[in-house]
Structure 1
Amino acid sequence: MMGATCVAALCAPAQAQVAPPFATLLRQTADAPRRIESEAEVRRYEGLARQARARPNPTIGVLTENVAGSSPYRGVDRAETTLQYSQPLEIGGKRSARIAAGEAGVAASRARDHDAKIRYAYDLARAYAAADVADQRIMLVEGEVEQAQNILRAARVLVDAGKEARLRALQAEAALNAVTADLEGTKADRIAAYARLSALAGVDETFTGLSESLLTVPVAAPAYGPVDPMTSSSFLAAQAEREAAERRLTAEQKRAIPDVTAIVGVRRLDYENATALTAGVSIPLNIFDRNRGNIAASEAEAQAAAARLAMARNDAIAEARAAGAQIAAAQSRVAAAEASQRTAEETYRLARIAYEAGKSPLVELLNARQGLGAARGIVLDAKVASFEARAQLARLQGRTLSGGEIQ
């Protein structure tokens, strides 16, 4: 029992470092920094929208006149005290324009948040796949190291038997050293890939392994359908931002209209022992500040938002057209690369048999080993390209790799 407890205690941290399946990891990263930032922006615009509905505050003032002057106003007998209430009145649709701008800002922030969620899922999938690729590249290079070691042993056997010159053993040893150096570089790339995945997921402890491989996860059947570029999250976000910019421009134009302030007061006349009402209206003169700078800035912002919308539309159309073709091409590329790998494996097998039998030179075996390693690398690259195409299609459709829609 004590031994089992110790084993469980030692294995628990290692298991905690293994990244869960991608769908689970995506659900668990709701508090990742990128997700929190995007959601905080939505709350910020919701607060601004609530503030846009607020009306101007009234002003209450007390004014005393005809006191502490020269005779007959030396004392306070002739004092006139006025209690005044002032209320600014927004005219010209200023408040409604401000409210519309606030609501459009909230809609734009929500569209950006939805686009950010989709892009985060896409980036997280790519980081997850990059860690998977790093693992598989290590396996490939380790296989090349093992093959190079076998070639070196075979070369030394032939050298000892006097059937090969010592130079051949040195050549085989040099080839082994080269692939061993590649292995060390591949291990460093793996550490970097897992560090990026952990940082993107917002976890404190770096992952050391994966629970599944995304390179072989198929896209759900509905996700293979045509992509409507006008429904992509990036286009909808740009469209909402243009609408918000136009609403802000209207609000700034309305701000140039002067406000009217209504004034109502009660005046106490001490000398006459009487009370009187006062009323008035004040209107500012737009002589110096006509809000022209803010209007010009809003016009430029609206033009920039329209340009971004046009670019987003063009990008969405291009990506939608390319999505289906890229998936079909990637699948054909994988099939062709796997066929080439099978040929390279057979070539290496025959070259090794021939060399060990003394019927072919070492250089042919080394070339066959290099060709096999290159073929395996091409297969892995083809699978990565296929994954990239599937991930891009899922991003355009606002879905995860498994076909679930991102809310």
Structure 2
Amino acid sequence: MRRLSFVVALLGTLFMYPVSATTFDLTLSEALQRTLKSNPSLKKYEFQSQAAEALTLQAGVSPNPRVGLEVENIAGSGRSAGLDNAQMTLSFSQILELGNKRQRRIQAATVEEKARQAEYEYQRIDVLAQTTQYFYQALKLQQFVELSEQQLSRTESLLRTAREREEAGAVPKSEVTRIKLQLERQKASSAELMGKLAQARARLSAMWAGGTQFKSVSGDFHFPLQLPSQAQALNAVNRAPEYLRLLDSERLLQAKVKALEADSTSDLTLGVGVRYNNQFNETGFIVEASMPLQLQNPNMGFIKERRIRHQSNLLQQKLVRAQLRSLTLALVNALQTHQNYLHKVTNSLLPLAQQLVVQVNQGYVRGTNSLLQVLDAQSELAELEYQKISRQHAIYSDIVQLERLTGQAFLGEDL
């Protein structure tokens, strides 16, 4: 994946001149910058990060001291009637947290805060990979449209030749009609491609919650391309976001277990105060200490639940790592298959198809080749041209998927 830096000057220009916003060509770098800035899935992490910081702050808060006032022997009967024999006690008490409760709470909240920050990075990789996939899909369809225009141009040239031969009486009128039918079919296919391209552009712009403010995407499928080896891809699995999520979850579970164990320790409450006896007009000091009797662990169920989840997490780590290795190997093998076929199309099949089109067109002018042979040769060439772009796109798409899976860069640029 590519780690993208923001191009402030470019964005400033776009906002200063909104009238021209519909005329620019969108590059992959610009698409990723817009996604980083405005993608809804990423924006929510700004608030989640702030919330996690607030919880870390809350974890460090100690219990507040308490003040109490107690009045005895009032509004009773006999000597306790009225206030003559009243006793008043003013006390101050403070809970002293034992068992490193506060430190354990802070540690658990800090680990959770780091996990939220890491989750943003994982989500960022996923969102940027999706944007990249949409960009390359739009680029592929854009190149398909260009090929469609070339195919129309070839058919229109053939139509002109057929009309000349019809006027010379060399071919029947039905032959011209057959080419017109072929031309109309190609126009219909071209219109359909334009519709699919518009959809792809809309999906791409949705990644930053914006309208389709660009007329085309700017880029190309660059080849030859250095593909990652099996060793490189398998080594990258150890940094895969899905695997790292489980490691983060394990650390968080361990921190929460320690916080629960610390919370199971009884706290000591110390208090001091002043007692005044109204009957004898005497004052005395009092000191008190209290601690709850822990006849059983109040958090034993929570602790057991966390430990079970921790065991499940360890098992998931093993299974997910094995699964990621299998998926990675499948992608590496698919990349090699696509590369081999692309090499065959580019270096062998396409040159032969181009040569065949030239030869049958020349033969058609001379009358030695039939119209069906010409149309068949042109269809063969068009099919191979589409296959070339499709394979190029498939290679880029699989590499992006591999980057999305492992969180590592393989296309030669930082994400």
Same fold (TM over 0.5): yes
- Give CA deviations for 1:315-371 in whole Å, capped at 9, x if unaligned: 443355456555544433322121322222222222222223322222222222221
Q: What is the number of equivalent residue pairs in this alignment?
A: 394
Q: Could you tell me which amino acid in structure 2 is paired with residue 363 of structure 1? A: L
Q: Contact 2:268 / 2:289 at 8 angstroms: preserved in 1?
A: yes
Q: 2-side partners of 1:256 and 1:160: how far apart? A: 101
Q: Could you tell me which amino acid in structure 2 is paired with residue 377 of structure 1? A: Y
Q: Contact 1:152 / 1:172 at 8 angstroms: preserved in 2?
A: yes
The reply to whether residue 180 of structure 1 matches residue 187 of structure 2 is yes
| Among 44, 59, 64, the residue aligned to 1:37 | 44
| Among 387, 392, 396, the residue aligned to 1:383 | 392
Residues 145-224 of structure 1 correspond to what in structure 2 (within 5 A)? 145-213=152-220, 215-216=221-222
The offset of 1:211, in angstroms, is 3.3
Q: 1-side partners of 2:18 and 2:361: how far apart? A: 43
Q: 2-side partners of 1:305 and 1:37: how far apart? A: 26
Q: Contact 2:202 / 2:211 at 8 angstroms: preserved in 1?
A: no
The reply to whether residue 137 of structure 1 matches residue 132 of structure 2 is no
Q: 2-side partners of 1:360 and 1:129: how far apart? A: 40
Q: Could you tell me which amino acid in structure 2 is paired with residue 336 of structure 1? A: K
Q: Which runs of 5+ in 2 are unaligned?
A: 1-16
| Among 281, 305, 310, the residue aligned to 1:302 | 310
Q: 2-side partners of 1:194 and 1:94: how far apart? A: 54
With 172-181 and 297-306 compared, the bigger mean Cα shift is at: 297-306
Q: 1-side partners of 2:174 and 2:211: how far apart? A: 52
Residues 307-346 of structure 1 correspond to what in structure 2 (within 5 A)? 307-318=315-326, 321=329, 325-338=333-346, 339-346=348-355
Where does residue 360 of structure 1 map in the other structure?
Answer: 369
Greater relative contact order, per chain length (Cα 8 Å cut-off, separation 6+): 2
The reply to whether residue 91 of structure 1 matches residue 98 of structure 2 is yes
The offset of 1:250, in angstroms, is 3.2
Q: 1-side partners of 2:200 and 2:80: how far apart? A: 87
Where does residue 240 of structure 2 map in the other structure?
Answer: 232
The reply to whether residue 56 of structure 1 matches residue 63 of structure 2 is yes
- Give CA deviations for 1:182-239 in whole Å, capped at 9, x if unaligned: 11221111111111221213445532222333x2277789999824232334422321
With 267-276 and 22-31 compared, the bigger mean Cα shift is at: 22-31
Q: 1-side partners of 2:87 and 2:183: how far apart? A: 105
Where does residue 4 of structure 1 map in the other structure?
Answer: none
Change (3 A) 1:120 1:225: farther
Q: Contact 2:85 / 2:278 at 8 angstroms: preserved in 1?
A: yes
* 2:271 match: secondary structure: strand
TM-score by length of 1: 0.83
Q: 2-side partners of 1:92 and 1:209: how far apart? A: 63
Q: 1-side partners of 2:298 and 2:284: how far apart? A: 37
- Give CA deviations for 1:262-318 in whole Å, capped at 9, x if unaligned: 333322222222222333344446689934554454345434433442344224433
Change (3 A) 1:268 1:330: farther
Q: Could you tell me which amino acid in structure 1 is paired with residue 408 of structure 2? A: G
Q: 2-side partners of 1:129 and 1:340: how far apart? A: 24
Q: Contact 1:223 / 1:403 at 8 angstroms: preserved in 2?
A: no
Q: Contact 1:249 / 1:302 at 8 angstroms: preserved in 2?
A: no
Q: Contact 1:344 / 1:371 at 8 angstroms: preserved in 2?
A: yes
Q: Contact 1:62 / 1:83 at 8 angstroms: preserved in 2?
A: yes
Q: Contact 1:337 / 1:375 at 8 angstroms: preserved in 2?
A: yes
Q: Could you tell me which amino acid in structure 2 is paired with residue 176 of structure 1? A: L
The offset of 1:138, in angstroms, is 0.9
Q: Could you tell me which amino acid in structure 1 is paired with residue 119 of structure 2? A: R
Q: Contact 2:136 / 2:397 at 8 angstroms: preserved in 1?
A: no
Where does residue 5 of structure 1 map in the other structure?
Answer: none
With 156-165 and 122-131 compared, the bigger mean Cα shift is at: 156-165
Change (3 A) 1:42 1:131: same
| Among 271, 279, 296, the residue aligned to 2:279 | 271
* 1:226 match: secondary structure: helix
| Among 26, 51, 71, the residue aligned to 2:32 | 26
- Give CA deviations for 1:32-65 in whole Å, capped at 9, x if unaligned: 2333233433333232222222222332222222
* 2:219 match: secondary structure: coil
Q: Contact 1:252 / 1:298 at 8 angstroms: preserved in 2?
A: no
The reply to whether residue 348 of structure 1 matches residue 352 of structure 2 is no
Q: Which runs of 5+ in 1 are unaligned?
A: 1-8
Q: 2-side partners of 1:380 and 1:211: how far apart? A: 15
- Give CA deviations for 1:121-142 in whole Å, capped at 9, x if unaligned: 3222222212211211111122
The offset of 1:28, in angstroms, is 4.9
Q: 1-side partners of 2:282 and 2:225: how far apart? A: 87
Q: CA RMSD in A?
A: 3.3
* 1:72 match: secondary structure: helix
